[in-house]
Every structure is written in C-alpha cells, then in structure tokens.
Amino acid sequence: MVQCKSVREIAWAGQRALVRVDFNVPQDAAGRITDETRLQAALPTLQFLLSEGASLTILSHLGRPRPDDQARLTLRPVAERLGQLLAQAVHLVTDLDIAQAPVHPMDQAVVMLENTRFHAGETQNDPELAQWFSQWGDVYVNDAFGSMHRAHASTVGVTRFLPAVAGLLVAREIQFLSPLASAPERPVVILMGGAKISDKIAVIHNLLDLADVFLLGGGMANTFLSAQGYNMEASLVERDVLHRACDILEAGREKIHLPSDVQVGAAPEAETAHQTVGVDEIPSDWLALDIGEATIAHYANRLAGAATVFWNGPMGLSEVSPFDKGTKLMAQCLSELKGATTIVGGGDSAAAVHRAGLVHTFSHVSTGGGAALAFVGGRDLPGLQALNSICNRS
C-alpha cells in the first residue's frame, strides 16, 4: 500500500527543497542532450516548488562514471538546458568534497549538485554521504521514479535525515501503476521484449500470475526459443539461464506466446542482408533481430481483445532499421486499441513510442523501465519504501 506524503502537503515558503530527479539523459559524443523526456517530466514538480516559494537543490546521477570518465558524464549540459526550460539560472556545484560543509548560494533559487555517482558512496548508500546531501535541504522530495528501485544514498539514505515526500511525477507513476499491479481490468496482456531476461527473471513469475496472455519478443524471446531447441546459434541468447527459461515456459505454458517467425540479418547493422524466416528455418550464421510478419499479426490479434496492456521492452533491434518494424507496429497497434488501458514500462519501449510520436495515445508512458517492471511485478522499490517509512513514523 502506497502511503507516502505528497509534495503538495508541505508549506514551502522559505524552505529549501532537496529534490532527487532522474536526469540520466542520453547525450551525443559532443555532450548534447538527444532526448529530454526526463527533463520535461520533472518540470511540473520543480515549477510547483518554485511557485510555492521554495529554493531548490537538485540531485541526479548520470551514467555509470569511472574515476577517469567524469568529464564526459558531467551534469553541466543538463543544468544549462534545465535553466532554459525553467527560464532562470541553474547553478551547478562542482566542488563536492563531503569533508566540507555545504555552501548553498541562497541568492540562487536553483542549485544542482554534480553527478551523485561521482561519489563512490552513492551506490553503496553510504550514510556519511547521505547526511551530507541532507544538509542541502530542509525537506527531501523524491521525484526520480526511474531510480526508485535502487537503494542509493540519494534515494534512500537521505530519508534518514530529512522529512521526505513524493514529487508529482512519482505520484502520477503510482497512480497508474498501482491498479495494474493490484486489480487490473481483465483480460490483461503483457508484451515483453528487450535484450535480456536475466535481470527480469525475478519478476516474470509474478507477471505470469498477473497476465492472461504473455507475448514475448526481442532478444528475450531468443533465449526462450533456444530453450525450446530452436537454432539460435548466432543470436543473442543468455545460455546461463536456459534452465530458468524452461521453468518459466512450463509455468506459463497456457499463457506464453513466442514468435513463430523472425527477421534475421547477417549482422546487427543497418543495410545488412536480411530476410524473414520461420523459427525452425534460421540459418546458423544469421542473427534473429526482430519478430516476423506472422508473429506481428498474431500478437496484434491477441492484443485486440485486451482491457489492460503492459508493454516493457522492444520487439527487436529497435534503434536500427529495418529491425525496428516489429516494435513500431506493436506501438501502432497499441495506440489504436479502443477502451483499453495501455501502459508502457519505460526504457527502450518508451523511447520507441516517443520516436513514433504516439505518446499521447497511451494511457501512461512510464519514465522508469526497471522501476516500473519491478513495481508491476510485485517487488518493493527501496526509494518508495523509504518514503512510506517516513510517513509511518510521522
């Protein structure tokens, strides 16, 4: 049960809001932001706080920096773009020596601390780092749904030292995902793809209980097809989890649907030789890179009768043409469903929906792939648990 308090329940005038956001945005080689969806998603909370008289200190991670890789993963381009979106300066604090007391330039209404993962203690949920973060605010706001499944210093540890509330983005995510996880309108169809199953196995069994129909595609389907004995010699297959895939297929034998045909290519590249073949006809030196036309038609037919759909993960190599066809057509199919609740679980599938210009046709497009999957799959989100704990203590 979600019990955390909302950002709307605080009197913000004169308060410093320490706001954890998810600004882990993609950038090109020159450091230019190529997709600002996550920046746009955080604006309602940031604008609300400023309108209520709060000053802001913003926390976010970016990538997985190594000690020699920090220049590439600075938040400076993010701070500059956020300043444009807010129409006011965002001061980036780059000196993050936790041995020193924080100096908050109070004449600056918006401050952003440099990449939280520049501190080794961030991913270790180090209490000393969490306490240092807490000194930058009077009330903590978690609006980083995409990071709620990680127990880090800036998502969990800081709640030990400050009153904590959920931001507007987190509240919206919970509003849409909670009914899906607990009492969805049936029939429920889950469409799942992506490259791997190893990081999703823990929730797939719970999703099988939730689903009436389970449609698999992408690299994930390759592993299941390999477990069934099909030739996937050259394709992406997680061979160390084949036995787990067999267990899942047995548990979901009346629900799980796998591709009957796939689009194969000589290489995972644009302009490579490619063709559509049945799953029992895959050449030994070709890669399965997308679902085929017969599978697309079958999946569209199964989706047609759905009352609720949850989609997590693309159907193929969605960033490379022509292997993006299955993902594009699944997005189009879902966008045309009448009367159904359609939820996209973040990540690459959400990116595909944005590229297709179909965001407005879905009930909800989550900002957190792993977090959305974990939440719908019945797993606890450490960041959300920490907010609930604050509420229960108050």
Q: Which one from 167, 326, 347, 368 is the annotated catalytic residue?
A: 347
What residues pair up with 56 in beta bridges, in sequence order? 17, 110
As a whole number of angstroms, the distance between CA 50 and CA 343 comes to 30
Which pair of tokens denotes residue 176?
């849409």
Q: Which one from 160, 196, 255, 302 is the annotated catalytic residue?
A: 196
SS3 202: helix
Question: Shortest CA distance to 382 belongs to which of 145, 131, 182, 52?
Answer: 145
Q: Where are the alpha helices (DSSP H) in 143-241?
A: 168-182, 201-210, 218-227
As a whole number of angstroms, the distance between CA 257 and CA 217 comes to 9
Run of H or E residues at 141: strand 139-142
Quick check: bond before 322 cis, omega within 30?
Answer: yes
Q: Which one from 16, 20, 38, 328 is the annotated catalytic residue?
A: 38
SS3 159: helix
Report the residue count for the chain: 394
- HSE (side-chain half, CA atoms, 13 Å) at 245: 23
DSSP state of 321: T
146 assigned to active site: no
196 assigned to active site: yes
Question: Shortest CA distance to 98 belongs to which of 142, 141, 154?
Answer: 154
As a whole number of angstroms, the distance between CA 42 and CA 20 comes to 10
Q: Which one from 157, 194, 218, 370 is the annotated catalytic residue?
A: 370
66 assigned to active site: no
Q: Roughly what angle, to the nearest 10 degrees, separates helices 242-251 and 218-227?
A: 90
Number of neighbouring beta carbons within 10 Å of residue 305 = 12
SS3 358: coil
Question: Shortest CA distance to 175 belongs to which of 306, 10, 364?
Answer: 364
* Under 8 Å between Cβ of 199 and 192: no
347 assigned to active site: yes
Residues catalogued as catalytic: 38, 196, 347, 370
